[in-house]
Amino acid sequence: MKNSKIKNIIFDLGDVILNIDVPIASRSFATLSGREQEEILHIFKENALFRQFETGQLDEKGFRNYVREILDFSDLSDEAIDTAWNSLLLDLPPERVELLQKLSKNYRLFLLSNTSSIHITEVNKILKASTGIEKLDDLFETVFLSYEMGLMKPDPQIYQQVLEQAGLNAEETLFLDDNPDNITAASKLGIDTILVQKPSTILEYLKDYAV
């Protein structure tokens, strides 16, 4: 049901706008390194690889070198690492972009994503291939990315920073994400929220807003 107070809409990226399949990346790295997927997951989690990269503690070069180090595989090329890392990024349905364009006529739109620079470069390629639009920045007033902010959802600070930087009132702001923890954290700040759950998409959740 539409909340008539809403003036601003903040979108997550993965599985909200862009379809993703996170386990594919660990399978890709398992194939590359000749290890089991479970072992790869354990190694990455133990070394907080994703968190370090997605909060900007590692740059692209540092990320690739750290992957080589923790997998004990010095011969992995930059391209092979990037391809494995990007393998979790699937398609971006054009109808979701059309919805964003329609919504932008009546609402201020923002993106807030836990992500990395390698992923964003690839997402922009996927976006251009599917819609002809050059980059995510062309769809949103501001694109807020965890690796640039040094913060990750569900840290309350990341939402506070978005509200303050964009000059938004929480009660006039709607946030869509597929992660329950991220939704809970935003709700505690007074932001209206929608938990996006498959098979439903933003097309169904926001149909009343796109009228």
End of a domain among 33, 52, 86? 86
**In the structure encoding, which two tokens stand for residue 193, read together?**
């929220």
142 bridge partner residues:
110
Q: 1 lies in a domain?
A: no
Whether residue 110 sits in one domain with residue 44: no
Supply the CATH number for residue 113's domain.
3.40.50.1000
Which of 202, 145, 209 has its CA nearest to residue 17?
Answer: 202
User: For residue 211, is pLDDT > 90?
Assistant: no
Domain span including residue 47: 23-86
Whether residue 199 sits in one domain with residue 132: yes
For residue 142, name the pLDDT band (cuts at 50, 70, 90).
very high
Whether residue 138 sits in one domain with residue 63: no
Q: Which of 33-42, 129-138, 198-207 comes out lowest in average pLDDT?
A: 33-42
User: For residue 8, is pLDDT > 90?
Assistant: yes
User: For residue 94, is pLDDT > 90?
Assistant: yes
Distance separating alpha carbons of residues 205 and 196, to the nearest angstrom? 8
Q: How confident is the model over 11-18, as a mean pLDDT?
A: 98
Q: How confident is the model over 135-143, as a mean pLDDT?
A: 98
- Tell me the pLDDT of the chain averaged across its residues: 96
Whether residue 163 sits in one domain with residue 60: no
Q: How confident is the model over 47-72, as a mean pLDDT?
A: 94
Q: How confident is the model over 20-47, as a mean pLDDT?
A: 93
Environment class of residue 132 by beta-carbon count within 10 Å: exposed (0-12), middle (13-18) or buried (19+)? exposed
Q: How confident is the model over 158-183, as a mean pLDDT?
A: 98
**What's residue 118's pLDDT?**
98
**What's residue 191's pLDDT?**
98
Distance separating alpha carbons of residues 30 and 6, to the nearest angstrom? 45
What is the number of structural domains in the chain? 2
Q: Which of 23-37, 130-144, 184-198 comes out lowest in average pLDDT?
A: 23-37
Q: How confident is the model over 133-154, as a mean pLDDT?
A: 98
pTM: 0.96
Q: What does the pLDDT look like over 105-131, one tens digit per residue?
A: 999 999 999 999 999 999 999 999 999
Q: 102 lies in a domain?
A: yes
User: For residue 1, is pLDDT > 90?
Assistant: no
Residues 6 or more apart whose CB falls under 8 angstroms from that of 145 comprise: 111, 113, 115, 120
Q: What percent of the chain lies above the pLDDT cut of 90? A: 95
Whether residue 102 sits in one domain with residue 150: yes
